[in-house]
Amino acid sequence: MLDLVVRNGKTIDGKKMEIGISDGKIVALTEKIDQETRKEIVLTDDQYISAGWIDDHVHCYEKMTLYYDYPDEVGVKRGVTTVIDAGTTGAENIGDFCELAKKSKSNVYALLNISKWGIVEQDELADLTKVQRDAVRTAIEKFPEFIVGLKARMSKTVIGSSGIEPLRLAKQFQHEYGELPLMVHVGSAPPELSEILDLMEKGDVLTHCFNGKENGIFDREKQQIKDFVWDAYTKGIVFDIGHGTDSFNFDVAKQALREGMKSTSISSDIYVRNRENGPVYDLATTMEKLFVVGYSWEEILTQVTERPAENFHLTTKGKLAVGYDADMTIFTIKHSEKELIDSNGNTRKASQEILPMETIIGGQVYDN
C-alpha cells in the first residue's frame, strides 16, 4: 500500500501524471496509479506540480542578529521544500545551527562560512586569523550530511584589507576537503570582479550575478556585459541570482538576456528584514522577476529545482522521478497586475504571479 498518491498532476509543460509515494520516496510515476493508498490529494485543473523548490541562498540561523530568519518561514510556508543557508555560520557555531535545523519541516542544509564564526559582523573576512584550516576540516568531517559547500563573501565591507586572499584560502580548502561546492558572494570592490572570476573554476557558484553595482558584470560605459565575465560564463562558472536587499537589478538581468547570458540558478538571499519589508519577500517573487525579464516558466522552474540540486550535489532532489525524495511544490499561475521592485528601486509590472498552494516534503503534505 502506498502512503500517498497525487492525482490529476501536470507539469508546467503540460505533461500529465499521477505520483505514488512511499517511505518519503517517489515509487511510481505514471499516467494512472491503481494501487491502494492511505491518502490521496487531487490537484485542481488550474494547479501544476514540480519537484520541490530549492532556494540555495538563504540566511536562516535564528540566533544571528545581522542576517537571520527561521527555516520554515523561508521554506515550507513559501512553497520551498529545501533551503541552503549561505554561510551564516562558521566552524564554531554550525553545530548549533545543525541541531536547530533538525526541528524544521523544511529540508535544511548549510554552506560553511570560511570565517569561524560566520556573519556575526559584516567584516568577517577582514581578520584572517578567523579563517582556520583545521577548524574548517573538523566541521566538514563532523557534519558531512549538513554541510553541502563552502561560502566566501568577497566584497569591500567584508574583507577589509585582506584583498583576494580569503578566496585563495577558500579554494585551498575546497580542493583539500573533497571538492565541496564553493559559493562566492560579489559586491563592491575591492576585490575587483575580474580578480574573483580569475580564481573561480567550473562549477563554482557566483551569487548576486545580476547586481547593479559598478563592480558587477555590466560595463556601464560600453552598455554591455564585460568581456571577462563572458570568459567566466563560458568556462562553466555557475551564475546564481542571490537577489537580496542590494543585489538584483532588472536592467542588468535584461541586458544579459539580450546578449544570451542567463542565470544558472535562482535564489532569494532572503532573511527576516527583506522578507518582511522587501524587496525579496520570498522565492516565488524572485521567480516572478525573472519571468518579467523574459525567462520562461519552464526555465525558471528548472533553476529552482534541477539546477541547484546539481550544483550542490543533492542527488535525490530536484526531479520528479522514481527513487527521488518525495519533495514537491503544487502551484498555480495567476493572471493579475502586480508591481515588482528590484534592489535599486526600479519597478516592473508583472502580468502573472506564481502562487504555491501545497508543499510536499518527504511525503508529508503542508498547505500554503
**In the chain, what is the straight-line distance between the N-terminal and C-terminal CA atoms, in Å?**
27
Residue 175 known to bind ligand: no
d(CA 329, CA 222): 42
Which contacts (CB < 8 Å, 24+ apart) does range 350-356 have? 350/288, 350/289, 350/291, 350/292, 352/288, 352/291, 353/284, 353/288, 354/284, 354/287, 354/288, 354/291, 354/297, 355/284, 355/331, 356/53, 356/78, 356/79, 356/80, 356/284, 356/329, 356/330, 356/331
Radius of gyration of the chain measured on its C-alpha atoms: 20
Residue 77: count of CB within 10 angstroms of its CB: 18
The response to whether 59 counts as a known ligand-binding position is yes
Is 313 annotated as a binding-site member? no
C-alpha cell of residue 23? 517511505
Binding site annotation covers 57?
yes
- 335 known ligand binder: no
Angle between helices 133-142 and 94-101 (to 10 degrees): 20
In the block, which residue shows the cell 579554494?
171
Q: How many CB atoms sit inside 10 A of residue 145's CB? A: 7
Query: How far is the C-alpha of 78 from the C-alpha of 194, rounded, in Å?
Result: 36
Type and span of the H or E element at 293:
helix 283-293
Name every residue whose Cβ is closer than 8 Å to that of residue 190 and which is 6 or more positions away in sequence. 156, 159, 163
Residues with Cβ within 8 Å of 271's Cβ and at least 6 positions away in sequence, in order, are: 58, 59, 60, 67, 68, 69, 74
> Residues within the annotated binding site for Zn(2+)?
57, 59, 151, 185, 208, 269
> Residues within the annotated binding site?
57, 59, 151, 185, 208, 269
